[in-house]
Structure 1
Amino acid sequence: MPMTKTNSAIAGLLGAIMFVGCASTGDILGTIGRETITLKEFEDKYAKYNGGWEQSAKSTQNEREQFLDLLVRFRLKVQEARAHGLDRDSSVAEELTSYRHSIAINYLLEKELVEPNLRRAYERLNEEIRASHILIRVDEMSSPGDTLDAYERAIHVRDLIATAPFDSLARVFSDDPSADVNGGDLGYFAGGRMVPSFEDAAFALSTGEYTQEPVRTRFGYHLIKLMNRRPSKGATQLSHILVRYAEDRSDTLAVRDSVARIMAQLEEGLDFAEAARLYSSDDGSKERGGAIGEFTNDRLPAALADILYDIPGGAVTPPYETPYGFHILKVTGRRPAQSFQEVERDLRDGYQKNRYSSDYDRYVNDLKKQYLLRFDPVLLRSLPTAFDSSKTSSRAGWRDTIPSSWLGRTLYSVGTKSVTVDQFLDRVEQSDEFKEYVLTPTAVELILERISTSSVIDTHAESAAARFPEFNRIMSEYEDGVLLYRIEQDEVWQKITVSDSLLRQYYEEHQNDFRWSDRVKIEEIFVFTKELADSLAQQARKGENFGELAALATVRPEYSSKKGAWGWQPVTANALMEIANTMPVDSISEPIAFENGWSIINVVGKDPARVKTFEEAQSEVAGAYQEASARKREEEWITQLIKTHGVSLRKDILTKAFTRKANEAR
C-alpha cells in the first residue's frame, strides 16, 4: 500500500531523529531493550540534526538530555512495532519496495552524476585560466554543407598554429570582432563563465597547449589556446585615482606629469582616499575616496589582473594606462573564495540549468553500453507503425492492432533481463506519463526510448546498496520511520475516542484557549486612481448601495464577486482594519492610500474580543482535544514500553559529548 502524502510527510519528519541501533566503540550511554547507545552514536546524530559539530559542542546538558529522550522514545516504539510483527506486514513491504526503487534512482543520480559535477564546478570556480580563441562562425541551424565548410576552415587555421603566432592568426581568421583588438585574448575566467563545451575544452588544456579538434558551440567552431592557469584569490576590493586624457589626447604629456606628481605625494605619505578626492577625474568615485567596488579577475583586463594578483592588501599599483587615461589603484581588501557549502545552491541551480540535461544523456548512454541494452531489430522497426495512430493508450482497444504472435517475443534486453512486447504494452498502459500520447510512429519511438531507458536505470539501481553503504542506512531509517508511523497509529491515534460530549467537556475546561481578538467586518472598493476613488466615495455617501458599487468598480482580485466583503478580520490584520476600528459602524471612509492604490471602506460591524462559542471553535477544539489526548496516551504508552523493554541510561556521560575535535569525529 503506497503511503499517502500525509503518511510520507510524517515518516520524513520522523526520519530526522532516527538512530541506528548497533553499538560502536566508545562510552556506553545505556541500553534500550536489546539495543545499545554509545556516546559516538549520540554525537553523530545530535550534530547531524543540530547544526553540526561546532554548534552542537555549545549545547547544554539539558538540550542533550532532551535529544537523548527523543532517541529513547523512538527506539522503544520501533522495537514495539517489530514485536507486533509490523516489519513483516505485506503493506509495509510493498511500500518499502516502491520507496527503495524510487530513492535508489534519485540517490544514484545524485551520487554518480550531480555531486561529482558540482565538485568539479567548485574546483573550477577556485581556479582562473587565461585563454585565447579563434572563432569560425557557423549557426546551429546552418546546412550540413555550411557546417562542414566552417569545420574545414577551422582545421586549416589549426594547422597554421605551429608556424604562426596565435594572436596574429586570430586577427586574420577569427570571426570574433574583438579579435582585431585583443588578438583573441579572452582574459582570465573561472568556471561557470563560458558555455559548457568551451569551458570543458579550455580547462582540459595545459598552459601553452591548444585544442587539436575544433570545439563546437552555438556560435561556431573555436580553436582555444591556454595562456595561463592559477588558483583564484577570490575578489579584490579596489579604489582608484583616474587621470583622464582629453578627448583628442592632446594633453598626454601633462597627464603623465600629473600622474608622476600624484605618485610622488602618495609615496611621501598622502592618504590615498584624500588624493582621490583631490585629483581623480572620476566624479562617481572621488567622493568615496576612489572606492570602485569589488572585482573578480574576469571583469578586469588580463594585464591588470596579473598586476593585482600578487599585490597585498593596502598596496598601490604602478600607474596603469587605458584608452581613457591612467589609473592608480589601491587594493583595499580581498574576499577569499567561498566554501563549497556557501555556493552549493548557486552551483546546483547553474548545473541544473546549463549542464544536467546533456550530462544525464551521456550518463544514460554509458549505462546502456554497460548493461548491454539490445533491441530486436525487426520489432524495433515494425512496432512504431503497428498502432492505430488516431488513438491514445487511454482509449479502449488501443493495443488490439498488435499481432498476437508478437506479444511473447523479446522486444529488448538489459543484461540478462528480457522485456517482451506484452510487458512493454503493460508498462505503457500503467504509466500516467503516456496516457495522452497519440500513438503515432514518432510518439511510440519516444515511449520505447523512455521505457527502455527506465529499465536500464532500474537495473543499475539494484546495485546501489552494494556500492553505497550509506544507501542501506537511508533505507533502514525509512523502514524505521514507516514502522514508527504505523505503531503510533495503532497505539496512540486509533485509541483516542472523540464524541460531541467529550469535545464539549474539553471546551468548557479550556474556554480561554479559544478566543477572538477584537475584530471588524468591512466592505471595500479598491481602485488605482484618487480621482475615481473620490467619485465612488461620493456616490456611496449619497446612498448608492456600497456592495453593488464594489461589485462594479473594485479591482482587487476575486473581491468583485464578493461585493468587496472582507468578512471578519482582526483589527491588527492591516492598515485598513486599524482605520475601520476607529470608525463607527455603518460609516464610509474617505479614500485611503493603500497597497499602491486607493481604498474606500464601509464598516459593516465590530466584534470586541471574546471567548468563541463552542460552534465557532469546534474544529479548533477537536484538534486541541486530539493533540492533548495523544500526548496523554503517548506518555502512558511510553511508561508501559519502558517497563516492557527496559531502559538503562547514564546521562552523566553526556558531559563528555563533543569534547573531541571536529576533524577527529569524522
Structure 2
Amino acid sequence: MNKIITLSVFLFFLTNSVFAQKNEDVLMTIDDQPVLASEFKRVYLKNLDLVLEESQKSVDGYLKLFVDYKLKVAEAYSQGFDQSDTYKKDFSKYEEQLSRNYIFEDKVTSELAKEAFERNLEEIEASHILIMVNYDAVPRDTLAAFNKIKGIRDRALKEDFTALARETSEEPGIEKSGGNLGYFTAFALVYPFETAAYATEVGEVSEIIRTQFGYHIIKVHDRRMKEPEITVSHIMISTKEGTSSYVPEARIGELYVLLEQGDLFESLAKQYSDDKNSGKNGGRIKRFSKGDLRSSVFEEAAYKLENPGDISKPIKTEFGWHIIRLEEKHPLPTYEEKREILERRVKEGSRSKIVTQAVKVKIKEKFGFVNGTGYSPYFDTYVGDEVVKSRWVYDTIPASENKKMFTIGDRDFYFDDFARFIQKRQYTSKRYISRITLMTDFYDEFETLQLKTYFREKLELENEEYAGIISEYRDGLLIFDVMGKNVWRKAKKDSVGQLQYFEDHKLKYRWKQRVDVEILATTIEDVVNELEKLMKEGKTGKEIKGLLNKDNKVNVLLTKGVFEIGRSELPSGFLPNMGVSKIYTENESFIIINVKEITPPGPKTFEEIKGRVLSDYQTFIEEQWMEQLRAKYKVEINKKTLKKLKKELNS
C-alpha cells in the first residue's frame, strides 16, 4: 500500500513544533504533556473546509477530533513505533525530500531553470556517435576512448554522419536508429549532452563531450520552435474486460457516426464516455504538451488536429478507444508560469549536481566549515582494493590515528565516521573500476551528507514552516503504524468477528430494488417514436439496432444489465415498472427502457458485501480502541483558554 497516499488521511493535524515552546496559552494536557492553543487554532483554520459534518465545525466539535488525534499519537509513542526501523527509514526519506525544497532555494537553481525555459522554446533534432567508457575507467582506457572519438569526429566533418554512426558508434540499437535521437528539448537528455546540442548550429558537428556513458559527438539536423500546449476533449470506450456488455470498437464507431450526424460531442461524452472524470465535463481534459501524457498515440492524434472543433477518427491506445476534439491551442507560457515546475525538475535531474555543489558552498558559509586532516593520504593505504568489489571490512581506527577530517558549525567529523560510511556505502555503490575514483566520490558524498544533515537539524529549529510540515508527517506516519496494528490488521484477520458483525447488522446490508433492463437511447427526435413502437412490439434491443442503424448510421445505442435503482446507467426519475417505459430525456438523449425483471429489496449475502463489512468492522474496532485510549490517558482541558479561543474564532 502506498503510505504516502494513505497518510493523507492522517496528515490532518500539525503537532507541537519547537516554535510552540513559548509562553503561550495551554489548551489542554495529555498525561501532563501540554498542547498549545496556537496549535489547535492553526489546524482548525487550516482544515475547517475539510470537515464534512456541520457539528464538528464548531470549536467544541473540532476539539473532539483533535483530542482523538493526539491520543493516537501518544499511543504510538507508548507502543514504541517511533523506534521501528521502518518508521525511521520512511521518515528519514521524507525528511530528506522535504528539506531539499529549502536547501535548494538559491540563485543557481533559478539560473538553471531560466536556462531550461529558454531551451524549451526550441526543439532540436540531432544524432550522435558514442564511444563507451566507464566513468571511473583507468587513464589508459579513457585516453584510448578519447583518441577513438577524436578520429571519428575528424571523419564526421567530411562523411555521412548516419553511415558513420552505424559503422563506429557503440550505442545499443545503432543499426536501427543510425544514432538519430529525434526531436528533444531541455530535460530530455543528460545535462552535458543537452548543453552541447544547444550550442551546436544546424549542420554542424559538436566538440567531443563526456557523459557518464562515455564520449559523444553530436550532429544537429534541425531546430524548430516548440509546439504550444493544447486542450482537447475526448470520448473514451474502455477495452478493459468485463466493463461493458458491448464490443468497444463497435461502440466507438457508433459514437463517431452519431457525431458525423450532428450529435453534440459534450452530450455523448457525458452519456457514454468511460472516462467519468472528463465525461462529466463534456470530455474536456487538462491542457498538455507533447510528452506530458502517458500515451504518445493519443498525443500524436491530438496534435494532428488543426483547428478548434476538429474531431479525430476513432483511435486505439493502451487505455481504450478514443474520439478526440481540439478545443484550444494555447500560447506558450511565460517563465513565471513555468518557474515552479522548472525549478523542481532542476532539483530532481542531472542539473542537481551543479546545484548541490553550490548548496554545499552556501551551507559552509552559513554555519562555518573548517577542513582538518582530510582523508588522503591516510585512506589511500587504509582502504584496500577490495572496496571496489564491496568486500572491504572495517575494524577500528586506533584513537591516536582517528584524526579530525572537518568541522561543520559546532560538530566535528573524524576518520572513524568516514570509515563507517565507506563500510555501509560500498554495498550500494555503482560498479567502479578505480579505487581512487571510488574514494573521491565517497568522500564527496560523505561531506555532502553531513552538510545536508546538519542543515536539516538546524532547519527544524530555525524555520517554523518546515518544522510544522515535518512534525505533521512524523505524527501521521506514527498513526499509520499504530492504526495498522490496533485497528486495520486486527479487523482484517478477525474473520469470525467480521461475520458476527455482519449477523448483528444485517439491516444495514440490503439491496435496493433492482431491474434487469435493456436501455435504448437516441439523440434523434424523429427516431424516438419508431424506437418506442418497436420496443412495444416486443423487439429485442439487438433486433432494434439492426432495424434502425442502417447505411452506416448510428441512430440508437443499446445498454443492458441488472442495475440497482439510482445507478447512473438509469435516467434520473426512472420508475421501475415491467415492460416498456415512458420516454426519458437526459443529456439531450431520448431514453426508453424495457424492464424484463424487477427484484424487490432484500438482504445481501456476506460474500456480496464483504468489503463494506470489513470497512464497517474496522470502524467498530477503532471506536472500541478509542474508548480504551480515553480511559488510559488523562486529558484535561483548560476552560479559560478554550473560552478565549472560541472568542477569537467566533465559535
Q: TM-score category by the smaller chain?
A: 0.3 to 0.5
Q: Which structure has the bigger radius of gyration?
A: 1
TM-score in terms of structure 2 length: 0.44
Q: Specify which structure has the bigger relative contact order, considering alpha-carbon pairs within 8 angstroms and separated by 6 or more residues.
A: 2
